[in-house]
Amino acid sequence: MTISASALRGFAVACALTAVVPARGNAQDFFKGKDISLYVGSGAGGAYDTYARLVARHYGRHIPGNPNVIVVDMPGASGRKMMAYLYNVAPRDGTTVGTALSTLTFDPLMGEDSQFDSTKLTWIGSANRETSTCIMWHASPIKSIDDVRSREATVGSSGPSSTDSIYPNVLNYLFGMKFKVISGYTSAPLMSMAIEHGELDGRCGLTMSSLHSVNRSWTDQHKVRIILQIGIDRDPTLRDVPFVLDLARTDEERQILTLWAAPNKMGRPFFAPPEVPPERAAALRRAFDAMEKDPAFLADAEKSGLGAEGITGEAVEALVKQVYAMPKSVIVKAAEAARGR
């Protein structure tokens, strides 16, 4: 019996559909009636917690089966406590996701005693892309980034893995600046209070989204000045603010700055443990993509003062691989710079 080419094509399409439908059905059957725990590696009231609660309000209705998404704050060790839990303890079935400082992604690369492997995480997507800033309180004598070359600027941080520590340390290491990092602030609101009371000159690692959402009154009332923007790309809203890559004098300096600017492109990444079943990982990724195009989500983000121009899980995964593939000599110096050595 001879089978026509068109019949063969029809059979192939039918087989493909048969392969796809059960995968979607399995994900829908699995997630229906379940709760997804969204762990945040920092305390309540900060930008990561704010973004997590924004996502929790909209994510579930885009996931097959429409599970509930419940935010769980798990602060500790700048987010490492949550990362260790998610990587080593949490269920790997798609019912646990997390978000934490994007710089933690590079802990293993930097030789930190980490209990996770970033390259094995299931990257779901990012809620936004970031530009970090160095900001100074209006009463501070620091008026520009050049001032930090000649006089000390005290800045706050939650700990060594925070960009609030990494960026000032890198600028000190590469360019001889005089940032003094004061660590130990357990939440963003406490750091903001210290700035307002004159205990700190400012912060060097505060994202634009945080500035607009958590500290909106600072910009509305001109209480801070932005002296540097940090990212892989310039922020078009900060045209008159110096750009960190313009400080580089050599290719090596540019590579180190690019490595540490990569977390800004990752923005607020969301991820699941390793080994999540492929059809559920795909469902979580596509649901995240759909959420970011949802008018209700976008309106909620705008109302909250949050940016919502994110990137896909595949794009985050590719960026992680790109950074891990950088020359060893650059990685070693980037690690030294971040530690302030």
pLDDT one-digit tens code per residue, 254-280: 999 999 998 888 888 999 999 999 999
Res. 12 pLDDT band, cuts 50 70 90? very low
Q: How many Cβ atoms from other residues are within 10 Å of residue 253's Cβ?
A: 19
Res. 36 pLDDT band, cuts 50 70 90? very high
pLDDT given for residue 223 in this prediction: 96
Judged against a pLDDT cut of 70, whether residue 291 lies above it is answered with yes
pLDDT given for residue 341 in this prediction: 67
Q: CB neighbours of 214 closer than 8 A, spacing ≥ 6?
A: 45, 46, 47, 50, 188, 189, 192
The residue written with tokens 């019949």 in the block is: 7
Res. 23 pLDDT band, cuts 50 70 90? very low
Average pLDDT of span 11-17: 38
Read off the tokens for 68: 């509930």
Average pLDDT of span 39-67: 93
C-alpha to C-alpha distance for 81 and 302, rounded to whole angstroms: 31
Domains and CATH numbers, the chain: 10-129+267-339 (3.40.190.150), 132-263 (3.40.190.10)
Average pLDDT of span 152-164: 91
HSE-up of residue 336 (Cα within 13 Å, Cβ side): 10
pLDDT given for residue 107 in this prediction: 86
C-alpha to C-alpha distance for 49 and 174, rounded to whole angstroms: 32
Q: CB neighbours of 113 closer than 8 A, spacing ≥ 6?
A: none
pLDDT given for residue 152 in this prediction: 98
Pair 175, 169: CB distance under 8 Å? no
Element holding 137 (H helix, E strand): strand 132-137
pLDDT given for residue 188 in this prediction: 84
Average pLDDT of span 23-52: 87
User: Secondary structure of 168-186 in the HEC alphabet?
Assistant: HHHHHHHHCCCEEEECCCC
Res. 6 pLDDT band, cuts 50 70 90? very low
Average pLDDT of span 107-116: 83
Average pLDDT of span 294-314: 90
Pair 202, 293: CB distance under 8 Å? no
Sign of the four-CA dihedral 316, 165, 104, 170:
positive
Judged against a pLDDT cut of 80, whether residue 22 lies above it is answered with no
Residue-wise pLDDT for 188-234, tens only, equals 889 999 999 999 999 999 988 788 877 889 989 999 999 999 998 89
Judged against a pLDDT cut of 70, whether residue 18 lies above it is answered with no
pLDDT given for residue 2 in this prediction: 39
Residue-wise pLDDT for 83-107, tens only, equals 999 999 999 999 999 999 888 898 8
Is the pTM above the cut of 0.85?
no
Pair 310, 125: CB distance under 8 Å? yes
Judged against a pLDDT cut of 70, whether residue 9 lies above it is answered with no
Pair 103, 161: CB distance under 8 Å? yes
